[in-house]
Amino acid sequence: MTSTDQLRPAVALHGVGKSFPGVVAVSDVTLSIPPGEVHVFAGENGAGKSTLMKLIAQVEPPSTGYVELDGVRVEHHGPGAARRLGVSMVHQEFALAPDLSVAENLFIGHEPGRGGWISRSAERRAARDLLAEVGLDIDPGRRVAQLSTAEQQRVELAKALAVQAKVLILDEPTASLTEGEAEELFGIVRDLTARGIAVLYISHRLDEIFEIGDRVTVMRDGAVVATRPVADLDEAQLVQLMVGRDVANLYPRTYQEPGAVRLRVSGLTRGDAVRDVSFEVRAGEIVGLAGLVGAGRTELARAVFGAELPDAGTVELDGRPLRIRGPADAIAAGIGYLTESRKTDGLALQLGVDKNITLAKLPMRAGLIDLAAERRIAERERDGLRIRVPWVGRPVRQLSGGNQQKVILARWLETGAEVLFFDEPGRGMDVGAKSEMFQQMDSLAARGAAVVLISSYLPELLNMCDRILVMRGGRITGEVGRAEFSEERVVALATGARNVENGGKNG
Ligand SMILES: Nc1ncnc2c1ncn2[C@@H]1O[C@H](COP(=O)(O)OP(=O)(O)OP(=O)(O)O)[C@@H](O)[C@H]1O
Ligand SMILES: [Mg+2]
């Protein structure tokens, strides 16, 4: 292995800092990253990871210090400048233009062809070659809006190749991928580093930090806490560095004897996505929904919640049949749904954290919104979920990605819903916040609510649920009780690899 100081760093940061009004987002970061390294950035929500990456990608100028790329001090800012110096960034929220074709997205700003004349066929050919490098076999003429999240991400990666990036920044790239897609992404990342590209990789997932990272830099409150080779750390040490305290129990579940049936779904059908699904959830239960992406879990939740109207089937709450013609009916009946795509569904970005939290259930007094109560509620949630914001009136737009997610979570926790669907609730949240969220989920169950937890991360389901229902092809294909929990069993049910529904227990 080459010693890192023999190579000119791909990225060198010299006392780099960034302040926003009332917030020091990044403070005095000095660090150098050699070519070919996967350098992971970890730390709590709001620690400054995304902001630091934007400084490296020259989206914004730093307030203090400077950035060097491949030995060249960065003087200019804006995406064009970054591209010339070989930096490419895949943002936490993708930045592709949905209405343009894949090929157009790949070559925005630097179209192949001569004299400003864009040759469509040259563009297509070049696009196909680039897409092949990231393992994507699609028609470059397709509109980006028609692609899956994973495919859009591949297009972003191909775009980085198109500009011959020396530094590739990935901000939580697996947050919206399945396990299989994540593995494929790791393969692409390894290919890129083998060519000498330095990959800067933000992640909250411990397993993937250990799998993909060479070194990890942990940030807290804008500053670097430590930079270490990943191999020198174990999980507990990494968590300790990230949150600055021990997180004794990531999954604080206290089980109790389930009560009466609260939610009963019978014969629910919606197109091909949900087919004849029946299940019950009792008071005090957390029921998991496992399955591969596309198995119908989100569609099932949406159909119960009225976001899609079912073709057939019934939903009962506490023995009463419900007539749900839209989400408003579901909310009025006491059913909540924390959606998978939280940012697009439901945050009022211009409004304050307080207004966003109380949006679904306004505290009223004598016919007016009780502003003092609103603030109290928001402050309680801010403290409980550790939402990093200087005051609760701040527009949500200014919060970090993970903290925006916590605001929506807080809203649902405050609605007083009796039946709650959580769709991938831990996505983008740091480990401390996740533990806090699960604590609150457990309290909801303990108070007699019925909770459905959709998650693609099996340890969450295995540690939080009373039972796990497994979906495949729009149907519930099996159920596993807590006494029989094992990863193998759930994976087998989800993939249909083996028939383990009856017998065939493996521990
Ligand atoms: N445009 C802005 N205006 C005001 N404050 C901002 C702005 N952008 C970021 N911040 C603040 O800077 C801090 C760092 O945010 P950043 O997005 O870098 O965090 P992060 O480490 O990426 O967190 P997450 O894990 O939640 O994505 C946060 O307190 C955030 O609210
Ligand atoms: Mg971020």
The CATH number of residue 462's host domain is 3.40.50.300
249 within a domain of the structure (yes/no) = no
The total number of residues written for the chain in this structure: 507
What is the structure's pLDDT at 2? 47
What's the pLDDT band for 504 if we cut at 50, 70, 90? Answer: very low
Whole-number percent of the chain with pLDDT over 90: 45
In this predicted structure, the answer to whether residue 168 has a pLDDT above a threshold of 90 is yes
Residues 375 and 453 in one domain: no
Residues 306 and 349 in one domain: no
Testing ligand 1's pocket by substitution, the residue of 51, 170, 430 carrying the most ligand atoms inside 8 A of its CB is 51
Residue 244 has a CB neighbour count (10 Å cut-off) of: 14
51 CA distance to ligand 1 middle (Å):
6
Spatial separation of the C-alpha atoms in residues 96 and 115, rounded to whole Å: 26
Which ligand is the nearest neighbour of the Cα of 44? 1
Q: Closest ligand 1 atom to the C-alpha of 430?
A: 25
Testing ligand 1's pocket by substitution, the residue of 19, 23, 201 carrying the most ligand atoms inside 8 A of its CB is 23
Q: Residue range 145-170: average pLDDT?
A: 84
What's the pLDDT band for 309 if we cut at 50, 70, 90? Answer: very high
How many folded domains does the chain comprise? 3
In this predicted structure, the answer to whether residue 239 has a pLDDT above a threshold of 70 is yes
Q: Closest ligand 1 atom to the C-alpha of 44?
A: 25
507 within a domain of the structure (yes/no) = no
What's the pLDDT band for 368 if we cut at 50, 70, 90? Answer: confident
**Could you give the 3-state DSSP secondary structure of residue 458?**
helix
397 within a domain of the structure (yes/no) = yes
What's the pLDDT band for 458 if we cut at 50, 70, 90? Answer: confident
In this predicted structure, the answer to whether residue 155 has a pLDDT above a threshold of 60 is yes
Ligand 1 contacts CB of residue 48 (under 6 A) = yes
Containing structural domain, residue 397: 344-416
Residues 272 and 216 in one domain: no
Between 335 and 6, the higher pLDDT residue: 335
What is the structure's pLDDT at 393? 93
What is the structure's pLDDT at 94? 57
Q: Which residues pair with 377 in a beta bridge?
A: none
Picking from 423, 409, 422, 399, the residue whose alpha carbon sits closest to that of residue 349 is 399
Q: Which of 368, 401, 416 is the last residue of a domain?
A: 416
Cα 453 off chain centre by = 15
Residues 90 and 227 in one domain: yes
Residues 208 and 90 in one domain: yes
Spatial separation of the C-alpha atoms in residues 45 and 340, rounded to whole Å: 18
- Closest CA to ligand 1's atom 31: 399
In this predicted structure, the answer to whether residue 196 has a pLDDT above a threshold of 70 is yes
Residues 227 and 280 in one domain: no
Spatial separation of the C-alpha atoms in residues 417 and 413, rounded to whole Å: 8
In this predicted structure, the answer to whether residue 503 has a pLDDT above a threshold of 50 is no
Residues 398 and 434 in one domain: no
Residues 181 and 87 in one domain: yes
Spatial separation of the C-alpha atoms in residues 38 and 160, rounded to whole Å: 16
Ligand 1 contacts CB of residue 51 (under 6 A) = yes
Which ligand is the nearest neighbour of the Cα of 46? 1
Q: Which residues pair with 66 in a beta bridge?
A: 14
213 CA distance to ligand 2 middle (Å):
18
Spatial separation of the C-alpha atoms in residues 363 and 374, rounded to whole Å: 6
Do 311 and 395 contact (CB within 8 A), yes or no? no
What's the pLDDT band for 48 if we cut at 50, 70, 90? Answer: very high
Which ligand is the nearest neighbour of the Cα of 219? 1
Picking from 496, 446, 449, the residue whose alpha carbon sits closest to that of residue 471 is 496
Query: What is the average pLDDT value for the chain, to the nearest integer?
Result: 86
Cα 404 off chain centre by = 11
Q: Which of 416, 436, 470 is the last residue of a domain?
A: 416
Residues 142 and 277 in one domain: no
Among 308-317, 356-365, 374-383, the minimum mean pLDDT is found in 356-365
In this predicted structure, the answer to whether residue 468 has a pLDDT above a threshold of 90 is yes
Among 111-125, 276-290, 424-438, the minimum mean pLDDT is found in 111-125
What is the structure's pLDDT at 77? 75
Phi, psi of 227 (to 5 degrees): -125, 120
Place of tokens 């299989």: 180
Dump strand ranges (E) for 391-465.
419-423, 450-454
Residues 174 and 298 in one domain: no
Ligand 1 contacts CB of residue 23 (under 6 A) = yes
What is the structure's pLDDT at 180? 80
What is the structure's pLDDT at 497? 56
